[in-house]
Structure formats: structure tokens, C-alpha cells
Structure 1
Amino acid sequence: MTIEETYPLHRCIFQNDVVRLNEILKDEEIKKKINEKDNHGNTPIHLALMLDRRNCILALLKNGCDCVSRNNYGWNPSEEATMLGDIDLVEKLSYQKYKSYFDFFGSKEGIINKWNDILPEFHIKYRLKFKSKIPILEKLGIKDIEHFYKKGNNFRMDFGFSGVDFRGIPRLMKGSLTVLLFFREDGKSTCYLLDNKAKLYTELFPNPSVKIQEAYCNTRMNVKTMYKFYNDNSQLKIKKKSNSGFGFNKSKKRTICINGNKKYSTDIYKFKDSIFFIRKRDNEHTIGDYKSHIKTTITDLDKSRNYTTTITDEIKKTLLNESDYKLKNITNEYIKANGVSENDSDSDNDDSDIESDANSESVIENHQLDSLESNNNFRNMVDENIYSITEVNSEISHKIVQMIICGSDEKGNLIEKDDILYIRQLLPSFFTSYLKANYLPEDQQKKLEEIYTSIVGKYDLSNTSDYNAKHKNPKNVYNVTQSISENYYKKASLSNGNTSKNFKNIPIKREPITEEEYFDSKNMGSLHLGRVMEISEEKKLIENVAKFWLTKENTFPLNCYHIKPIIDTICLILFDQINIKPNDKDYDREIYYNIINYIYNEVDGSKRFPLKFEIPIYASTVFQSKLLEVETENIPDDIFKIPDNYSKDSSVGFRFIK
């Protein structure tokens, strides 16, 4: 093997050649590729973990590989290691992951220096509380008063509890803990945990005690089920509550006291309609050097959620060759011919005021395009996976083609003529590009050509009347496909997975894959190796997302942008984006920036500050945070020092009692 070959590090791992791997990592140019994703979206560490190449994993860790970023399926290296159950690897990967956090935040280009420019020092005191209509939960009074201090590169957080007791109904154990975090000018960081009642402290980073490491690793051992959480905020609505009404009590609910006696009037904003996804991964074990056998109800694991970018915008970026603008003119003619108004909308009139001019244009444009609506499961799947469908060699593109050949979707619903025309309407050259690429075996290629020409025909796109005539006579594809080949495609599953939620009787597939097949440049679909697993995803619409009390415009010394670095930090961690480069394509990051900018614009974030917010947990329980005090100057230096009468003790830690 020569280092000029594509993905040299991946190839060493595939061959389990750790000697060669260590040798080529000495080459600085090759080492720059240590976090490169292959054509399946896997970095070298992801591939090594999938195939359980332990020595290769250790070599990559030694050379500082990325232990944070996700692969196309949404899993980061720590999660892949957790499912392996190797405590030594979990410990090493976890340390490397947390080191990445500290290195990122402490770097000159990191968040802290940017934060210092807009808010060099401050202190906030706030109350966290769970409010419930359930008597036993209300009686528990789960609440805490917390402090957060910042002065330059020094941080301090004070908590009024020391752990959680899970015996019976979970409850917070009272205590007094402090976290001190220091970022030095040389980029190095240190973090300490203080127990103020016992007057003890321990180091959390860079030299955590053995006890803390063991406690963390034990939480990652014998894990049978792993969860991943996602949000789709493309339908999010933000409404400012009306000030209509009268009475002292109504006014009182909108007035919040800060620093004991300073009263601020607020406007209340309600956030509604967010889609929440819970992905579950379980029943997993290794099967060696084979393609992973993933039993799943999810149509496409790596692109299963809607994103905020409109379909129209994404179509304009398509890799396919034909122009969608010619088709758009045809669909406009079709709309007029069928009496559809361009201004028709199913949106609630009450929400019309939250749409920006740009968004309104986008809505109209999409409506004009969708002369065929996405009103069934098959078309919804097309919409949800539009990013993958624009690449004709993606896994979802192959799956859609097989559904069309079969004549029905994974749930047995017949595919209509209009379903095929819907794909053509969105991506005019999808079928012609797919057929031209010749991905299918000869018999399947011929069948797809016959299906396509029998339904779509070879009419000219400029012939509007021909297009409309075909739209007005929808017939299902099932009869067409059956006449071409009786009982052609009779598989229980159209991919690695299966649509049934009962996986018990499904035989495990062991599909070998050669090095040539894995690194074939024509094989570009997402691919997981070495495991049997079950993956399911639950989708929930949260009607009432949150409620925020924001100060009136320009009446408070701070605004939303002063705390944006905190929000960015949390989201970078939650989305595993610490090591994502600015030019890297990352859907979750794009979604976050789009939605946070939308929210800030809707609430006039440059002029307001949140004094209180509530997030529903259950129908009868809400999580509430309320600001009590705020200071933006004269923060004493002494609070960032460990008191002289404190002793170092490795027993200090956050306790979980079960």
C-alpha cells in the first residue's frame, strides 16, 4: 500500500495493520488526515471502533484523533465505545473528549475570548425549580439557588445540592458544591470541584482522581440501551402574549424583581410546535468484519429528520443536471389550470404575524412548486430525505428505486403514478440520472426503464398539456409493475432494517465486504460495520415548548446576545460539534444557527433579556428558572481561589445513590 492511495489510515484499520498505521502517522501530511471522513462518513476512529481494532484505536488516540464528532449515523466515538463495553477504551476516549472541550474553549479563537469582548465580568444568581400539580411532587419542592460568576478567563459555579437520591422518588440531596474553572493564557486549563461543607476539594481536569474516573466509567458499562435526542424546529412558532385584560394580578405576573427591589416589566413570549425525536439503540453485539445488520423502523438512519432549509432551496443546490425552473413554469400552469390560488395557505391566521418577508416568499414559492402535495407516507419520506435524494447514489435513492420496482412502500402501501411524478416534480432528472449511472443489475435496470417510460413517458417538459393530462389520470404503479414482472420483488425488508417493530424472528444477515468494495468511489452511501443492533425512533410534537419573560426594550443592562456564548457552548456540546471546522458540512450546526438567529430576531434579542422561563416536562410539571440578582462589575478575585483551609481529597464528588 502506498500513502498516495485514498484514505490511507482507514485502509490500515480495515487491514488491522497497526504497524503500518503507526509508521504512516509519522508523516505529517498523512497525520493531517487523522479525522478525515471516508466515503461512508466514518472517521478512522469510528471505523476502528466498529471493527473492534483495539490496537489501532490506541494508536489513533495516541496521535490525538477527534473523539467528539459524529459519523453519518449520528454516533460519536464515545458512544460506539460504550456499546463495545471495554472500560479501558471508554476511559481513554472520555478523557480525550473532555480534553477537546477544554482545548477548544481555552484557545485564542475559542468562545471565551469572544465572550470577554462583550461581557468581561458578571455574576448572576438564579433559582431553579420544578413546579407540579401532582401533590407528591409539589411536596418534594425540588428547587435550588445557584450562582454563576465570570471574570475574564476565570469561572465559578455554586450549587446548593451535592447529589441525587434515586431511592424511591428521586430527590436532590442538600449540600454546597462549587466548580472552579481556569483558562490560562498558554491555552492550558484546570478545573476543581469543592465541597464547601466538608472543606475539601479535588481536581477534575487535567488530572482527575481515580475515583472520579471509575465513577464515570461505571456509568458507561453494561449499557444495554443508548438514546440520542434531536429537535426539528422548522415548524417553531413564537408568539408574544397579548397585554389585553385588566387587573392588578395580571400586571403582577409580568413584573419581576431583580437585586431585591428593582422591578422590571416584561413581555411574555410563548414558543410552540417543536418536533422532538428520541432515537434508541439497543440489543447490540459484534459480528466481526461484516456489514452491520441494523433492524430499524427508520427510513434513513443518517438523514431521518426534517431540516430548516426549504426543499426548494435544496433543490437549487442539487447535483442533478436538469433545470427545475422549467418544471416550475409547468407547475405554475398546472396550478392555474386546476384553479389553485397561489396565496392558498393552511397556516393559522393567528400566526401570520410571525412570518418574516423572506419566509413568506419561501412559503409561496414552495406552495407553487407543490402542485402535487406530499400527502402520503411515501412522499413524506421523499421530503424528509431530500438531502440524500439529490445524490442519486445515496442509500435512500437506492431504497426509493427498489420501492418503485416493488410497487409498494415498506408498509405495503401501493405507490401511485403521482408518487413517481412527485419525485420528478421535485428533482426533474432523478430517474434519468439514476438510469444513466447504471447502478442496477441488468434485469432491474430494464424494469425501471419500462416502469418509468410507461408512467412518465418521454414527453417534452415544455408540453404543459401533456404534463397536466398525466396528472389528472393517476393510477397506481402496482398494476404496471406486476404486468412487467409478476411477483418480482418480494423481500420483507428493503434495506439492512425492517419496518416491523417485532425483530425477534428476523435472521441475522452476515454480509461480508471487501476492502475494494468498501473504498469503491462509486459506493458513497452511509455504512456501518461489525454490529447487530436495533434502532428505533419516536417522534413527538411538543405543542407548548417554552414560555419566556423578557424585559421591555432597552430597559435592562444586559441583552440576549450577552449570554449567547453560554447557549453556543451548550449546543456545541450537545451536537458534538467542538471539532467541526467552519467549512465542514454539518446539518445540526446549520439548524442551530438558523433557529437561534430566527428566535433572536423574533424576540428583539438585542434589546431584551430573559428574566424567567418555563419548560414543560410533563403535562402537569414544568421546569422553571428565574433570575434573582445580576452584577456586571466589581466581581472580587478571591472567589476564584481555593481557600487555604481546604484539603485535597479524592472522595469529593457528585453523588448518585441508588
Structure 2
Amino acid sequence: MSNTNCNEEENTFPLHECVFGGDVRKLSSLLRSNDVTLKDKHGNTALHLAVMLGRKDCIQLLLAHGAPVKVKNLAGWSPLAEAISYGDRQTISSLVRKLKQQAREQMEQRRPDLIRALEQIQDFYMELKWDFHSWVPLVSRILPSDVCKIYKCGSRIRLDTTLVDFTDMKWERGDLSFIFQGDRPTCESLTVLDNKAKVYQRVRYEETENEIEDEVDILMSSDILAAQMSTKGILFSRAQSGWIFREDRKETVAGIYKSDVYTITGLVLESRKRREHLSTDDLQKNKAIIESWTRGNTQNLDTNGEPVRRASLNPPPESSVDWNTYISSPPGEYPSLGRELVYKESSRNFRATLAMSDDFPLSVDMLLNVLEVIAPFKHFAKLRQFIAMKLPKGFPVKIDIPILPTVTAKITFQSFEFRDNNPPHLFVVPEEFVEDPLRFPDL
């Protein structure tokens, strides 16, 4: 931290300045002794700048030295977002590949600790009830609900759910089981079962070339999106009950867990959208194309049966901004280095409630480890993100959290018991199931 502050005071960011000048040889030399992950006063890494300025050789050199692809600047944009804006297909492909590689490496580093943590938790059975509701009239009537059953045995976890996916007010129902086998090799450890179709799919960690290029097509054809739950101004206050004599509200959840109820204010869902890389024609055509892609259908084919790929855009005009102008600008307010932004921002404040209990037998840390395993289900990833916040004392037995701008989920831990007799067959793929590697395109 002190290193960063020192650099900010002196405005010396040698990698960043070198990228501005496009000096690849000097950059190569500097990378031996400088931190490739360092952010400047605007939150940009050297990779951010290389992408925005179209310095292709610098981009490849920085990626080869492990420059992070997922990191965001003060405006909330990653190098990949800036690459989509710039529109060079080769650069976007390189960043997507590196992003996936870095995600795999991080998961592999975390995996031994996660397995150890799971093995130390006593075996259990747990039920989570999900109820989705909306402030939009009539929408709540059509939203789904689900009771998820979670079994844990050693380093193995099974999740049964009827809610396959929930994205943008669309959901898919089914009868799914998600099995994590911590004692198996990584490539075999995650499996999703479709119990109705009697098929299963291993969750793969490496995509084929075609899958990578399909993803690049989608990125180049759709809005650049950034959505995050801002918790900077979050406040937890005891909920009150009673009209005249006010007192702290208490509740018994699931008829078992005595809880203190809190009101949460200051939750802000910030959504940002960019589309400077899209033409009017793109916007008219792309909705149907993207819906087709997300259903697993291949896009347009040429006469040889090969997919027709999106071509690179013409690059934006060469930036006339020099290094001194850039680095002396107020934080986050530097002049545009690429295309002029076509930008829309929206935010919505949420008020939520939270019931915390000292009676629940699982700890928050234990729950976070379990949720990390089942995070490929998007709504569980949101739940994990929420629980990772600094919560009041106890265990969150009932939570209201925003899932989408118009939809909130109420999650209730309605059943829990430590159990040493979870049947072993629950944690393996049944013999009669057939492998279908394309059953779940998003996994």
C-alpha cells in the first residue's frame, strides 16, 4: 500500500509511461523489476492503457508477464471491457483466453485450502428456500420459488434444485443435481445432473477454440455491461416493532432459530452500459442473434459450414493525449484515450432485512466455503457475495437481497441437521446416466 502511495505522489509509473510511448523493448526490460499489477491514480493498470491505446505488442508482452485481466479501474471497467470498445478481435480473443487461464490458476491455488476446510466441517443436510419478488406490479406473481437441498459428506457436496438458471427475468425450471467431489481430479470434480433427461455434464475448465471465438462474437455484438452492488454507505440497524412502545424486533425463523432482525440501508445497485462499439444496424440485429447463441445454436455459417465471425472494427483515431496530461488529470477524469463513450448509468437504492441468529449450528465461514463450491449457479454466487460482507453478529438465517434491478430474493435457512449417514450414492453419477457435454452451455 505504501508503495502505491509513494508512486502516486511522484506520478512515476514506469510501465504505464512506457506503454504510452509504445517502447516495447524498454517495456520488456522494465517488466523484470516492476509490478505488472500496479494501478495508477486512475485505477488503470499498464494493460488497461495498452488496450485503450491499441498497443498490440505491449498487450501481448504484458499478458505474457501475467498482467491481470479481471481488474477494474476507478470507473469500473476492465481491460477486456476497453478491448471490446476498441474493437480489435485478436486483442479481445487474447484477453478472453488469459482471463480464463487466470481464473483456472486462481481456482487451483484455492482448491487445497477449500478441500481442507470442507473436510473439517461435520457432515450435514440443509435446506434453503428461495422466494423471488419484485416491486414491479404483477411481476411477483410469475416469479419462481425453490427449495434447495444441500448434502455434505467429507469433501463432497450435493445440491438439489429445481431452478436451473435465472437471468434477466427469464428462468429455466428442471430437476437438477450439482455434485462436487473434492477427492477427484479437478477436471472430474464438478458435475451437473439433469435427473429428468438422465444425462450429466462435467463442468469443464478449458474451452475449445470455437467456444472462445463464439464468446468473442457475443462480446463484440452486445453492450459492455458493468453491474455491482455498492456497499460504501451500507448501514445495519435493529428493526423496530410496536406502535407506541417501540422495541427491537425479534423473530423465530423456521420455527427454530431465535433471531435479531436488522434493516439494511445504503445498498445501491449500480448498472452501467456502453455501446460505442455498436452501430445502429448492430443494435437491431444483435438481439435475435444473441438469443440464438445463448440457446446453444451456431450463428451464421459460410459456404464451407464454418461460422461467420465478427470482423475487427476500424480503430479509433490515434490519441493525442500525452503522458503528462494523462497522469496529471484528477483521479478518474483523464481525457478519452479511445472511442468516445456512448454511456448510460443507472442506480437503484435497496432497503433489505436480515435475521441473524446465534442458534444456527453452522458458521458464516463454513457457509462461504460451501457456497464457493456451488457458485456456478449464478444466484448462489450473488448470495455468497452478500454473505461475504461484514454482517452483524450471528448467522444470517433469513436474507432479502437484490438479484436483478427489479427482483429481490428472500432466502430462508429452513432446515439444518448434522448427519453422519448421508448415503454415498448421492455423491456419484448414477450408472444409467449418459454424458451430454452440451446440456448446459453456460457451464
Interval containing the TM-score (normalised by the shorter chain): 0.5 to 0.7
Structure 1 pair 61/626, CA: closer, same or farther in 2 (3 Å)?
Answer: same
Aligned amino acid, residue 231 of structure 1 = S
SS in 1 for 2:207: coil
TM-score (normalised: structure 2) = 0.66
Residue 160 of structure 1 corresponds to 162
Q: Pick the structure with greater CA Rg.
A: 1
SS in 2 for 1:197: coil
Residue 623 of structure 1 corresponds to 409
Aligned amino acid, residue 628 of structure 1 = Q
Whether the 8 Å contact between 1:268 and 1:550 is mirrored in structure 2 is: yes
Determine if the alignment matches structure 1 residue 196 to structure 2 residue 195. Answer: yes
State which of 507, 514, 527 in structure 1 corresponds to 2:322. Answer: 514
Residue 276 of structure 1 corresponds to 268
SS in 1 for 2:339: strand
SS in 2 for 1:284: coil
Structure 1 pair 41/271, CA: closer, same or farther in 2 (3 Å)?
Answer: same
CA separation in 1, counterparts of 2:415 and 2:264? Answer: 29
Structure 1: unaligned runs, 5 residues or longer: 1-5, 246-250, 258-262, 287-507, 575-591
CA separation in 2, counterparts of 1:235 and 1:144? Answer: 28
Determine if the alignment matches structure 1 residue 530 to structure 2 residue 317. Answer: no
Deviation at 1:236, TM superposition (A): 1.6
Deviation at 1:75, TM superposition (A): 1.5
State which of 400, 408, 430 in structure 2 corresponds to 1:643. Answer: 430
Structure 1 pair 632/89, CA: closer, same or farther in 2 (3 Å)?
Answer: farther
Whether the 8 Å contact between 1:13 and 1:56 is mirrored in structure 2 is: yes
Residue 230 of structure 2 corresponds to 231
Residue 366 of structure 2 corresponds to 562
Structure 1 pair 235/37, CA: closer, same or farther in 2 (3 Å)?
Answer: closer
Residue 221 of structure 1 corresponds to 220
- Say which structure, 1 or 2, has more relative contact order (CA 8 Å, 6+ apart): 1
Deviation at 1:624, TM superposition (A): 1.7
Whether the 8 Å contact between 1:106 and 1:189 is mirrored in structure 2 is: no
The alignment's C-alpha RMSD in Å is: 4.8
Structure 1 pair 221/530, CA: closer, same or farther in 2 (3 Å)?
Answer: closer
SS in 2 for 1:50: helix
Structure 1 pair 84/189, CA: closer, same or farther in 2 (3 Å)?
Answer: farther
Aligned amino acid, residue 274 of structure 2 = D
Deviation at 1:533, TM superposition (A): 0.8
Residue 100 of structure 1 corresponds to 102
Deviation at 1:264, TM superposition (A): 0.6
Q: Deviations over 1:102-146 (max 9, x none)?
A: 433442698626744863644422221224687854543512232
Whether the 8 Å contact between 2:223 and 2:275 is mirrored in structure 1 is: yes
SS in 1 for 2:98: helix
SS in 2 for 1:221: helix
Residue 365 of structure 1 corresponds to none
Residue 204 of structure 2 corresponds to 205
The aligned runs of 1:52-131 (5 Å cut-off) are 52-86=54-88, 89-107=91-109, 112=114, 115-116=117-118, 119=121, 121-131=123-133
My pick for the range that moved more, 151-160 or 108-117, is: 108-117
Structure 1 runs (4+) greater than 6 angstroms displaced: 184-189, 508-511, 566-571, 616-621
Whether the 8 Å contact between 2:257 and 2:360 is mirrored in structure 1 is: no
Q: Deviations over 1:355-400 (max 9, x none)?
A: xxxxxxxxxxxxxxxxxxxxxxxxxxxxxxxxxxxxxxxxxxxxxx
Determine if the alignment matches structure 1 residue 549 to structure 2 residue 335. Answer: no
Q: Deviations over 1:537-562 (max 9, x none)?
A: 445443xx2223333x4x33224443
Deviation at 1:37, TM superposition (A): 2.7
Residue 20 of structure 2 corresponds to 14
CA separation in 1, counterparts of 2:83 and 2:128? Answer: 37
Structure 2: unaligned runs, 5 residues or longer: 1-11, 279-315, 379-385
CA separation in 2, counterparts of 1:631 and 1:91? Answer: 47
CA separation in 1, counterparts of 2:115 and 2:78? Answer: 27
TM-score (normalised: structure 1) = 0.47
More strand by share: 2
Pairs aligned (count): 380
Q: Deviations over 1:131-166 (max 9, x none)?
A: 468785454351223234455554444331345698
Determine if the alignment matches structure 1 residue 613 to structure 2 residue 390. Answer: no
Structure 1 pair 279/16, CA: closer, same or farther in 2 (3 Å)?
Answer: same
SS in 1 for 2:173: strand
The aligned runs of 1:463-474 (5 Å cut-off) are none
CA separation in 2, counterparts of 1:620 and 1:45? Answer: 35
Q: Deviations over 1:278-307 (max 9, x none)?
A: 253424259xxxxxxxxxxxxxxxxxxxxx
CA separation in 2, counterparts of 1:37 and 1:17? Answer: 19
Q: Deviations over 1:163-208 (max 9, x none)?
A: 5698xxx443322334444567999885444333333333433223
Aligned amino acid, residue 549 of structure 1 = A
CA separation in 2, counterparts of 1:195 and 1:151? Answer: 21
SS in 1 for 2:429: coil
CA separation in 1, counterparts of 2:436 and 2:184? Answer: 28
Deviation at 1:536, TM superposition (A): 5.2
Whether the 8 Å contact between 2:124 and 2:416 is mirrored in structure 1 is: yes
Aligned amino acid, residue 547 of structure 1 = T
Residue 362 of structure 1 corresponds to none
SS in 1 for 2:203: strand
